[in-house]
A and B are shown apart, each in its own frame.
Chain A
Amino acid sequence: NAGVTQTPKFRILKIGQSMTLQCTQDMNHNYMYWYRQDPGMGLKLIYYSVGAGITDKGEVPNGYNVSRSTTEDFPLRLELAAPSQTSVYFCASRYRGQALNSPLHFGNGTRLTVT
Chain B
Amino acid sequence: DQQVKQNSPSLSVQEGRISILNCDYTNSMFDYFLWYKKYPAEGPTFLISISSIKDKNEDGRFTVFLNKSAKHLSLHIVPSQPGDSAVYFCAATPGGSQGNLIFGKGTKLSVKP
Contact = CB atoms under 8 A, between A and B. Distances in A.
Interface of A: 4, 31, 33, 35, 40-45, 48, 50, 56, 58, 90, 92, 94, 96, 100-109
Given A42-B106, A100-B99, 14 more contacts: A4-B43, A31-B99, A42-B89, A42-B105, A45-B101, A50-B98, A56-B98, A58-B100, A96-B98, A101-B51, A101-B99, A104-B44, A107-B43, A108-B41
B93 A92 contact: no
Nearest to A58: B100
A103 B34 contact: yes
Interface residues of B, number: 27
Contacts of A44: 103
Contact of A103 (B9, B49, B104, B105): B49
B98 A43 contact: no
A42 B6 CA distance: 10
